């Protein structure tokens, strides 16, 4: 499974790590919040040294109940960070976590390689046409509603079947526009209860029927720290356990706060599977 990032072919048949770099004051895991130039450079450099293939920059916190962020504010957060990183690390492959087409377009112009959209185009009808225009890889996540409303939208007829149908419709829409490189994200924690998150992880291998890369983002999330009754700061061990399970279920990309540990997990699982 290859994707084209700025002319560089990335083979996702061996799993890769995406490091999280939040340019926000309110992301749920406080140690992931990065706002000064020197912090941004330091954190990105460390993640790249530890083996991250992608760095995912976000300027809009999508945690449950997160406040809305104006488009200009989101742009003012992410564009300078992108320009800073591209200047310092010319080979860097940056993904931008946004559901806004204008942010996506400006980010790509600034040097971004991939767009990570929590709404798969549902929150901005111009998003998919922008992706088609620039032909960058597009991560389509499953979510219902918005970060403000998603906690109330957790009733499904059949969780995995409903998400599978959602992806089939989204893939059809993207292919009709000529988008080449698609990545699926089942959306752990987005309009799903803790039990539903575990059911989703248990059945994540079913999404391989689409023959597309699957991104799993469970790093330090509620399903870990609430189940264990700990704070997100103490949820690294739980993250590693669930990332290990995600790899056995076919994950192509692990989106994480802790790159070194995720890389070790991938290496050990690959050795186990020899």
Q: What is the mean pLDDT of residues 51-56?
A: 98
Q: Is residue 85 part of a domain?
A: yes
Strand, coil or helix: what is 122? coil
Catalytically annotated residue among 255, 260, 267, 274: 255
Q: What is the pLDDT of residues 65-114, one digit of tens each?
A: 667 889 999 999 999 999 999 999 999 999 999 999 999 999 999 999 99
Asked if 17 contacts 216 with a C-beta cutoff of 8 angstroms, the reply is no
Distance CA 193, CA 151 (A): 8
Largest Cα span, the chain:
49
Q: Is residue 1 part of a domain?
A: no
Question: Of the ranges 24-28, 104-108, 240-244, which one carries the lowest mean pLDDT score?
Answer: 24-28
Q: What is the pLDDT of residues 138-181, one digit of tens each?
A: 999 999 988 778 888 899 999 999 999 999 999 999 999 999 99
Domain count, the chain: 1
- CATH number, position 262: 3.20.20.20
How many degrees, rounded to 5, is the angle at CA 195 between CA 217 and CA 122?
50
- Based on DSSP, count helices (H) and strands (E) in the chain, helices before strands: 9, 10
Query: Sign of torsion, CA 24 28 29 30?
Result: positive
Residue bearing tokens 């976000």 = 58
Q: Is residue 2 part of a domain?
A: no
Q: Is residue 126 part of a domain?
A: yes
Give pLDDT, residue 31. Answer: 56
Q: Is 221 a catalytic residue?
A: yes
* Other CB atoms within 10 A of residue 202 CB: 12
Q: Which domain holds residue 161?
A: 15-272
- Residue 27 pLDDT exceeds 80: no
Q: Is residue 6 part of a domain?
A: no
Q: Is 220 a catalytic residue?
A: no
Confidence of residue 220 (pLDDT cuts 50, 70, 90): very high
User: Which is higher by pLDDT, 32 or 108?
Assistant: 108
Q: Is residue 3 part of a domain?
A: no
Catalytically annotated residue among 221, 226, 260, 267: 221
Q: Is residue 225 part of a domain?
A: yes
Calculate the alpha carbon distances from 52 to 18, 21, 189, 218, 263 in Å.
6, 12, 23, 16, 8
Q: Is residue 250 part of a domain?
A: yes
Q: Which two tokens stand for residue 200?
A: 């989703």
Distance CA 188, CA 135 (A): 26
Residue bearing tokens 């993640």 = 47
What is the value of pTM for the model shown?
0.94
Q: Which helix (H) or strand (E) holds 130?
A: helix 127-134
């Amino acid at each position: 499974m290859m994707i084209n990032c700025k002319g560089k072919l990335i083979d996702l048949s061996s799993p890769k790590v995406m490091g999280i770099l939040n340019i926000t004051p309110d992301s749920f895991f406080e140690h992931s919040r990065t706002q000064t130039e020197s912090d941004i450079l330091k954190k990105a450099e460390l993640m790249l040294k530890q083996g991250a293939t992608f760095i995912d920059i976000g300027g809009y916190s999508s945690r449950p109940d997160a406040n809305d962020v104006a488009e200009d504010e989101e742009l003012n957060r992410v564009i300078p960070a992108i320009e800073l990183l591209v200047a310092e690390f010319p080979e860097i492959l940056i993904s931008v976590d946004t559901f806004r087409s204008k942010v996506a377009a400006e980010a790509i112009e600034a040097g971004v390689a991939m767009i990570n959209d929590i709404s798969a185009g549902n929150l901005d009808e111009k998003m998919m046409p922008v992706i088609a225009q620039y032909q960058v890889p597009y991560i389509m996540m499953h979510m219902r509603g918005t970060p403000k409303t998603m906690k109330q939208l957790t009733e499904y007829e059949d969780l995995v079947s409903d998400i599978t149908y959602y992806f089939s419709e989204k893939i059809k829409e993207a292919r009709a526009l000529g988008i080449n490189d698609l990545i699926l994200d089942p959306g752990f924690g987005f309009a799903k209860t803790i039990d539903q998150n575990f059911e989703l992880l248990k059945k994540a291998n079913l999404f391989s029927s689409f023959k597309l890369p699957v991104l799993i983002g469970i790093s330090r999330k509620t399903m870990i720290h609430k189940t264990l009754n700990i704070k997100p700061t103490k949820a690294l061990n739980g993250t590693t356990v669930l990332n290990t399970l995600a790899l056995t279920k076919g994950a192509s990309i692990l989106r994480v706060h802790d790159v070194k540990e995720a890389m070790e997990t991938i290496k050990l699982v690959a050795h186990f599977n020899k």
